[in-house]
A and B are shown apart, each in its own frame.
Chain A
Amino acid sequence: MGKLLSALAIGIIGAGIVHIVILFLLPSVAENGPWQRLDAAAGHYTFVSVNRADGAASPTIRPIHPFFYEAACRFDLRDGVVHIHAPGRVPFWSMSVYDKSGENIYSLTDRTATDGDLDLVIATPAQLIEVKKDIPTDFEKSIFVETDTGKGIALVRSFVPDDSWAPGMDRYMKSLVCQSG
């Protein structure tokens, strides 16, 4: 009886340890995370549509924002800085930068941007020092985002107030550029 009780007690303590281990390991080993889902859809530096307001595209990321078109692009800062831009104006856009595990590390809206244009450069602190020594003409109006995350995801969300906006917003999302260097 004593042995059984001690076995139960050790089991419960073990369950606590397993609980904590799983909890902290899950983000790094999850096979169903945003990064892995995007990996299955496209390579780096390609914008993938993850949400169309009409739900037409097969969702890689749960589309929980009706009225929005969303597109995501994966990048790796070891290849150099990332430049994300799109021509034209839309009623509202917002953008988030996530690290590989899907944690939000930076977000902004069109109110923050120069003239409301989407034009953003993501770089590590070291790369940013290099870039700022002699800012290329391409980056003149860009917002600089400093992060040392290495691999990450940039997600652009664009508001579609009603269906009459859909064709124009579709063109806007297709014109998004995500390029390295």
Chain B
Amino acid sequence: MFRNLLLTLLTFCIAIGGGAASVWYALDADDGFDALHVGAWTAFPDLGTTKASPYAKAAAARDGVLALGHAEGIRFIASRDSAGRPLSVACTYRVAGNTPPARFWTLFPADPHSLMPLKAKPGLPGKLQSWAVLRQPDGSFAVTVGPHPAPGNWLAINGGGGMTLALTLYDTPAATSSEVGSLELPRIKRVGCDG
């Protein structure tokens, strides 16, 4: 009798605990089913739409996110450099290349978990938008992301730990194009690290 009760209890514990924990884990996993990879960058074109997977929908509901609509734009996130090493705020990176056509884009370093923009020290540039970016004669651009001031386009980071880079294209055909996988996005090259 007592043994049966114990076994029933065990069954319920596994069912409820395991079920809840596995949902939580799946929602926190970076790589959703809807992920789209372009070089080091990842986007979720179906995020927040009716086409999103149940996992993406549940994650959006839990986190209170109102995602960009297809007409508004698309966001690409990079948490690793082009060589596959995780991004760190103690390192200096060179983000160089071109973006797909868009009205404008923004680039900023963000917290890897909340995706909230990292705060730069007062007076230092913590975010960049394409109308203010310095370009090469061929239209391409290069941005230095690092703790030390750099000539040209510079994004200041400080502190320790990991980071992600968020590149958001606004009003772009890339968000709705079926050939979104063949897009050209800037490469992220690690220049060096402190310490």
In the complex, which residue of chain A has the Cβ closest to the Cβ of B50? A103
Q: Is the CB of B58 within 8 A of A14?
A: no
Q: Is the CB of B72 within 8 A of A162?
A: no
The 8 A CB mask of A57-76 against B (1 = contact, 0 = none) is: 00001111111000010000
Q: Is A42 an interface residue (CB 8 A)?
A: no
Given A3-B3, A65-B168, A94-B171, A30 contacting B62 (CB threshold 8 A): yes
Q: Is A127 an interface residue (CB 8 A)?
A: no
Q: Is the CB of A161 within 8 A of B73?
A: no
Q: Is the CB of B64 within 8 A of A11?
A: no
- Give the residues in chain A near B54, CB-CB below 8 Å: 23-24
Interface size on B, residues (CB 8 A): 58
Q: How large is the interface on A (under 10, 10 to 19, 20 to 34, 35 or more residues)?
A: 35 or more
Q: Is the CB of A10 within 8 A of B11?
A: yes
Q: Is B33 an interface residue (CB 8 A)?
A: no
Q: Is the CB of A14 within 8 A of B15?
A: yes
Q: Is the CB of A18 within 8 A of B71?
A: no
- Give the residues in chain A near B1, CB-CB below 8 Å: none
- Which residues of chain A in 135-181 are interfacial with respect to chain B, using CB atoms and an 8 Å cutoff? 153, 155, 157, 159, 161-162
Q: Is B183 an interface residue (CB 8 A)?
A: no
Q: Is the CB of B10 within 8 A of A112?
A: no
Classify the interface of chain A: helix, strand, loop or mixed: mixed
Given A11-B14, A24-B54, A108-B71, A66 contacting B108 (CB threshold 8 A): yes
A155 to B65, CA, bound (A): 12
In the complex, which residue of chain B has the Cβ closest to the Cβ of A105? B50
Contact of A104 among B17, B49, B108, B132 (CB under 8 A): B49
Residues of B at the A interface (CB closer than 8 Å) are 3-4, 7-8, 10-20, 22-23, 26, 48-50, 52, 54-55, 57-58, 60-73, 103-104, 106, 108, 110, 114-117, 126-127, 129, 131-132, 166, 168, 170-171
